[in-house]
Amino acid sequence: MTMIKKLLTSAVASALMVSGAQAEISDNMVKMGYLADMSGTYRDLAGPNGLKAMEMAIKDFGGSVKGAKIEVVSADDRNSPDVASSTVRRWVENDKVDMIGGMVASSVTIAATKILEENNKLGIVSGSAASSITNEHCTPNHIHYVYDTYALSIGTPTAIVQEGGKTWFILTADYAFGHAMEADVTRVVEANGGEVVGSIRHPFPTPDFSSFILQAQASGADVIALANAGADTTNAINTASEFGVTQGGQTLAALVLFLSDVHALGTDVAQGIQLTTGWYWDMNDETRAWSDRFMEATGARPTMVHAGIYSSTMQYLKAVEATNSDDSQTVRKYMMEHPINDMFAKNGRIREDGRMVHDMYLAEVKTPEESSGEWDLYNIVRTIPADEAFRPLSESKCKLVSM
């Protein structure tokens, strides 16, 4: 063999060795972290049942990938960016966590994804709402899966303005999610010929909404919009009911309302409220079958966040299996290249900004007479097509989008 042939042979062998090393599951283990509010304002919409959804996906997948064991660690972020940052840093730098799922409070997610980018690990966000997560705060190391403030602002505000609710007063949670929701709703209301006549921001969380609801009521606006979520939303709706907001002719618009919230309120209080959702358990045979299994495991019907956590975990594990790698960029690239067709979404796709786009739905809470049981809560009014529901890339500020 000539010297040139020897050098070429050596170079090819080295390349194959490098390629093989890259296409391996590190530590012979796929380790996932579940980060969420486990005990506070957002407990019911994600919380412990979100961890159960992730565990269901792992079990359904078989418990291992290519012979590598799948392991889960979890933590309560207490809706604190500082707590989340220290937890995520420990997980990825010391505990060899490959992917982090869940993530609810948008301020928590923005803090967490910065650390994921620094360490080149992957995050799949299912609980957070702020559309900035895949806009000005996008990174090549996370995916925003279930919904966002842009999508939520397309459905409910558009329908209400078109039905005659022209003047709006917005009650806003005073942190990243609420600010994004307020901005997105204002844009949609004004684009449809309406006007935002006032707004007020409340601390997060807030146990007593009396003064805020009285100010909104006194504005005389056609619509009082709630740009908050979880227990804040249910507390605000209950307070509005006590003060007779809707009896006085004003419309109450819950901009971020989950199945768990409506269940807690009951149809007596929540009937007629319109909302936008990314998923509903009773849409078809496939959603019902999975939801029956979830309810058997948890005692509750799943929110769209629970369904999204299950779906995103399965898609992640499929990508690890297909690529034989838990490298964040390898897995993310595979996920972007393959459409999502499961009980959560049909023809869903992950864009270059990390936004998973799929159909959204405008729903209305049933009356007590319409409801056939404690979880029979929504009428689906219309489907909002994926390309209409989410911010077009032509309007993106994401650094990953090639314009």
Residue 77, domain member (yes or no)? yes
Type of residue at 316: Y
Q: Are residues 365 and 351 in the same domain?
A: no
Number of domains in the chain: 2
Question: Both tokens of residue 384?
Answer: 């909002």
User: In the predicted model, is pLDDT for residue 208 greater than 50?
Assistant: yes
Confidence of residue 19 (pLDDT cuts 50, 70, 90): very low
Same domain, 340 and 196: no
Are residues 272 and 308 located together in one domain of the fold? no
Are 215 and 141 in a shared domain? no
Same domain, 302 and 371: no
Task: Domain of residue 101: give its range.
Answer: 28-147+283-358
Report, as an integer, the average pLDDT of 386-401. Answer: 96
Q: Which of 159-163, 289-293, 300-304, 325-329 comes out lowest in average pLDDT?
A: 159-163
Q: Say how far residue 90 (Cα) sits from the centre of its chain.
A: 24
Q: 328 and 350: one domain?
A: yes
365: CATH? 3.40.50.2300
Note whether residue 95 is domain-resident.
yes
pLDDT given for residue 402 in this prediction = 82
Provide mean pLDDT across the span 379-397.
Answer: 95
Residue 12 covered by a domain? no
Average pLDDT score over residue span 367-392: 96
Q: Residue 20: pLDDT above 60?
A: no
Confidence of residue 274 (pLDDT cuts 50, 70, 90): confident
Q: Is residue 18 part of a domain?
A: no
Highest averaged pLDDT of the listed ranges 161-165, 241-245, 326-330: 326-330
Residue 7 located in a structural domain: no
Same domain, 157 and 232: yes
- Using the predicted structure, report yes or no on whether residue 12 has a pLDDT greater than 80: no
Asked if residue 295 is part of any domain, the answer here is yes
Q: What value does the mean pLDDT take over residues 93-115?
A: 97
Q: Are residues 341 and 373 in the same domain?
A: no
Are residues 380 and 233 both part of a single domain?
A: yes
Residue 394 lies in a domain: no
Answer whether residue 316 is part of any domain: yes
Query: Looking at residues 182-195, what average pLDDT do you find?
Result: 96
Pair 140, 168 in one domain: no
Average pLDDT over residues 256-260: 96
Q: What percent of the chain has pLDDT over 70?
A: 94
User: Are residues 157 and 226 part of one domain?
Assistant: yes
Residue 253 shares a structural domain with residue 376: yes
Q: What is the pLDDT of residue 22?
A: 45
